[in-house]
Amino acid sequence: MTGSRRARGSRTLPGSRARPGEGDGPGPASSEGPSPDAGAKKLRGTAWDRALRLLSVRERSRRELERRLLMAGFDRPDVHDVLERLEATGLVDDGRFARALVEHQLTVRLSGRRAVMSALMAKGVDRGTAEAAMGSGEDDGDRALELATRRAARLGTLRPEVAHRRLTDFLIRRGHAPNVARAAASNALGLDSGG
């Protein structure tokens, strides 16, 4: 078998597990015969258990949990019931999730408002909740300048115009407005605002 991890000429030992589609004889997987629902996705545990495992890793939005549970093969009515229970117990709260995501994006990543709103939408938070979590907040200019100052040290070996272009592009990718990004890049690199 070319491209396989198994060595050429090796065989699956009796009693050992073969990968699906492998195996040269009867083994534990093939001794039972094909199951009646061989094409169906085999679910491990309940939707409630899967949701709790997902939430144990990190907080998630209701929509994000719904997508993950449906992708895992759980029925839509079961998923809906689980999500209702999780909201009733306070384990899923889109408002709390959105505020935590906004806090992280604005303070740790120093992202612009546009990038934060995009991240909230990608996680399935509705627009009203996202806008409430964003609030008025501080000016993007301060965050852009702080991020540009941190990043400018890495660009010291480049020509000033190249460093300015790269830093401006980086700030725009982080969700800052182009005019804010240009001004922050110029300030961080010690160039006059004309760039």
Among 7-11, 130-134, 135-139, the range with the most confident prediction by mean pLDDT is: 130-134
Q: Return the SS3 of 177.
A: coil
Q: How many CB atoms lie within 10 A of CB 104?
A: 13
Q: Please indicate, yes or no, if residue 2 is contained in any of the structural domains.
A: no
Q: Please indicate, yes or no, if residue 128 is contained in any of the structural domains.
A: yes
Q: Which amino acid is at 89?
A: T
Overall number of domains in the chain: 3
Given this model, what pLDDT does residue 44 score?
74
Burial of residue 167 (CB within 10 Å: 0-12, 13-18, 19+) is buried
Q: Please indicate, yes or no, if residue 29 is contained in any of the structural domains.
A: no
Q: Return the SS3 of 14.
A: coil
If we measure between CA atoms, which residue out of 185, 118, 91, 195 comes closest to residue 145?
185
Average pLDDT, rounded, for the chain:
82
Q: Which amino acid is at 103?
A: E
- Pair 83, 102 in one domain: no
Residue 136 tokens, joined: 């008025």
Q: Please indicate, yes or no, if residue 36 is contained in any of the structural domains.
A: no
Given this model, what pLDDT does residue 191 score?
85
Q: Please indicate, yes or no, if residue 30 is contained in any of the structural domains.
A: no
Q: Please indicate, yes or no, if residue 34 is contained in any of the structural domains.
A: no
Q: Please indicate, yes or no, if residue 51 is contained in any of the structural domains.
A: yes
Residues 108-133 have a mean pLDDT of 93
Give the range of the structural domain holding residue 80, as residue numbers without chain letter. Answer: 47-89
Given this model, what pLDDT does residue 29 score?
45
Q: Please indicate, yes or no, if residue 14 is contained in any of the structural domains.
A: no
Q: Look at residue 103 and tell me whether its pLDDT is greater than 80.
A: yes
- Pair 98, 82 in one domain: no
Long-range contacts of residues 181-186, Cβ cutoff 8 Å, at least 24 apart: 181/144, 181/148, 183/141, 183/144, 184/141, 184/144, 184/145, 184/147, 184/148, 185/148, 185/152
